[in-house]
Amino acid sequence: MGITEFDQVKANAFIGAVPGVSPFNKIIYVDGTNGGDGNDGKSPSSAVASIGQAITIGAAGDTVVIAPGTYTITTAIVPKARMIFKAAIMVQREPTVSIASAIALPVTIDVDGVQFHGIEFIATDNAVTNLVDIAETTAVNGLTFNGCVFNGADKTTVVALNLDDGAVATTGLVVTNCLFRDLTGTHINVGVLGMPYAYIAYNQFAIDVASGTAIALADTSAFATGKGYVIEHNDFTGIDATKDEVGITVAGTEDTTGAGMIRNNYFAYLAAAAITIDKIGFSCIQNYYGDATGGLLVDVGT
């Protein structure tokens, strides 16, 4: 039996009640199997077929609900401000919605308030450089990635989240409950303007290559403004105890004003360093890796 009008009213009411989804904006449905880009996207039975079309017909603040499937894109996804992208079915560590691409920058964000929930970003070619590229032309505020998977698929030098613009900053970034995997480049690459007020928590950073880095922070002198970040309760796993992977790197000179807080993170054995704490030692509190026997936890700061 098809979806009735009553069912649709109930579905819209439920989604409108989800935190972060505005009942005052539209819900646009995407279904790569049964939808068509000539549809209006107003209901599951009239879903559009592509995420790009949902953005085209949508407006700032709209929510895009995506049916299970792999969505292969050939042009970059460029969201409008405050758009929310949600997998219709969210399964932790087993994404039902994948955005797959062979282009250099599959997702480019230059606007405020964009959210992704339960989406996998996956590279399908060595041409991919940054799965998500942020703030190339203007300052960006309030981005959220929750329950997402950043999958480099072992392609050449793939960065998951790139915030490395030298002229503008990304403020209020939230990355929670995400998995970073099979990435040959840095997982989160942060430029000289930092990530003011960012919250990076409860993620797994699987460092899958020798000399790999999970989070790279540029010269900390750029952060000496009191606009710090928090990196907490993340797990960092490494591939080889004899290689030189690093969990978190901090470049440049020591910043004693407190760039941010790095606390309560756990690291698998990394031969080079868990955190380059010599740069912001006073901001690294209670971060641990196991000892050689597996019987004790060693504080990174000791």
pLDDT tens-digit map of 211-257: 788 999 887 665 555 578 899 999 998 766 666 778 888 887 655 55
Instruction: Show Cβ contacts of residue 216 under 8 Å, excluding neighbours closer than 6 positions.
Output: 186, 188, 189, 190, 248, 249, 251
Same structural domain for residues 219 and 123?
Answer: yes
Return d(Cα 274, Cα 291) in angstroms, integer: 13
Q: What local confidence, expressed as pLDDT, does residue 172 receive?
A: 93
Alpha helices in the chain (DSSP H): 5-16, 51-57
Buried/exposed code over 154-181 (b: 16+ C-beta within 10 A; e: otherwise): ebeebbbbbbbbeebbbbbbebbbbbbb
pLDDT at position 20 is: 64
Residue 51 sits in the same domain as residue 183:
no
Same domain, 136 and 17: no
| Last residue within a domain, chosen from 23, 39, 59 | 59
Check whether residue 107 and residue 245 sit in a common domain: yes
Spell out the residues 6+ positions from residue 22 whose beta carbon is closer than 8 angstroms to its own: 16, 61, 63
Regarding whether 105 and 37 lie in a shared domain, the answer is: no
Q: How many domains does the chain have?
A: 2
At residue 299, the pLDDT reads 77
| CA pair distance 115, 84, nearest whole angstrom | 5
Whether residue 160 sits in one domain with residue 187: yes
Q: Are residues 89 and 17 in the same domain?
A: no
Residues of the chain with pLDDT below 50 are 1
Residue after which a domain boundary falls, among 40, 59, 78? 59
Please give the pLDDT value at position 1: 39
Domain identity same for 55 and 79? no
Question: What Cα–Cα distance (Å) separates residue 93 from each residue in 76, 104, 145?
Answer: 24, 25, 14
Cα-based distances in Å from 116 to 74, 147, 216: 20, 8, 22
For residue 238, what pLDDT is reported? 76
Residue 41: domain span: 1-59
**In this structure, how many other beta carbons lie within 10 angstroms of the beta carbon of residue 96?**
17
Do 244 and 123 belong together in one domain? yes
- DSSP for residue 80: P
In the numeric block, the tokens 């901001």 are attached to 283
Do 152 and 268 share a structural domain? yes
Determine contact, residues 46/65, Cβ cutoff 8 Å.
no
Q: How far apart are CA 195 and CA 59, in angstroms?
A: 27
The C-alpha atoms of residue 28 and residue 184 are separated, in whole angstroms, by 34
Q: Are residues 101 and 74 in the same domain?
A: yes
Give the pairing of strands 297-299 and 288-290: antiparallel
Does 76 lie in the same domain as 47? Answer: no
